[in-house]
Amino acid sequence: MTDTTQGAVAPKASAPRDAVSNLYRAVWRWHFYAGLLVLPFMITLAVTGAIYLFKDEVDNLVHADFMLVTPQEERLAPSDIIAAALAAQPGVTLQYTDPRSDIQSTEVSIMPDSGTRMTAYVNQYTGEVLEVRPHRSTFAWTVRYLHSFRFFGATPRMWIEIVAGFTILLVLTGLYLWWPRGQKGGVVTVRGDRTRRVFWRDIHAVTGVFTGAFLIFLVITGMPWSSVWGARVNQWANGSNFGYPSGVRIDVPMSGQKLDDVAKTPWSLEQAQIPESVPAATSIGVDAAVAEFQALGLHRGFSVGLPRTDTGVFSGSVYPDDLRQQRVVHLDQYTGEPLVDMRYADYGPLGRWLEFGINTHMGQTFGLANQIFLLLVCAGIVLMAVSAAIMWWKRRPAGGMGVPPLPSDRRVFLGLFTILGIGGALFPLTGLALLVMVLLDLIWQAVSRRST
Could you tell me the pLDDT band of residue 249, with boundaries at 50, 70 and 90?
low
Residue of 340, 335, 328, 315 lying closest to 251 (CA atoms):
340
Task: Answer for the pair 185, 202: CB distance below 8 angstroms, yes or no.
Answer: yes
Strands 327-332 and 313-318: antiparallel
Task: Answer for the pair 301, 100: CB distance below 8 angstroms, yes or no.
Answer: yes
Please, is 448 exposed, middle or buried when counting C-beta atoms within 10 Å of its C-beta (0-12, 13-18, 19+)?
exposed
CB atoms within 10 A of CB 275: 24
DSSP string over 392-443: HHHHSPTTS--PPPPPSSTTHHHHHHHHHHHHHHHSHHHHHHHHHHHHHHHH
Structure confidence by residue, pLDDT tens digits, 360-385: 999 999 999 999 999 999 999 999 99
Least confident of 7-11, 345-349, 352-356: 7-11
Task: Answer for the pair 222, 420: CB distance below 8 angstroms, yes or no.
Answer: no
pLDDT the model gives residue 230: 72
| Rounded CA separation 234/74 (Å) | 43
What pTM was computed for the model?
Answer: 0.87
What are the φ and ψ backbone dihedral angles of 128, each rounded to 5 degrees? -70, 130
Going 295 to 296 to 301 to 303, the CA torsion angle's sign is: negative
Strand partners, 133: 119
Task: Answer for the pair 321, 359: CB distance below 8 angstroms, yes or no.
Answer: yes
| Rounded CA separation 327/266 (Å) | 10
| N-to-C CA span, the chain | 41
Mean predicted confidence (pLDDT) in 84-88: 98
Mean predicted confidence (pLDDT) in 134-161: 87
Task: Using the CB atoms, write b or e for 3-38: b if 16+ within 10 Å.
Answer: eeeeeeeeeeeeeeeeeeebbbbbbbbbbbbbbbbb
Residue of 52, 43, 147 lying closest to 381 (CA atoms):
43
Could you tell me the pLDDT band of residue 333, with boundaries at 50, 70 and 90?
very high
**CATH for 70-137, options being 3.40.190.10, 3.40.50.300, 3.20.20.20, 3.10.450.40:** 3.10.450.40
Proportion of the chain above pLDDT 90, given as a percent:
52
Give residue 131's Cα distance to chain centre: 29
pLDDT the model gives residue 241: 47
Mean predicted confidence (pLDDT) in 107-119: 95
pLDDT the model gives residue 244: 57
Domain boundaries, the chain: 17-54+150-225+369-451, 70-137, 246-346
pLDDT the model gives residue 29: 86
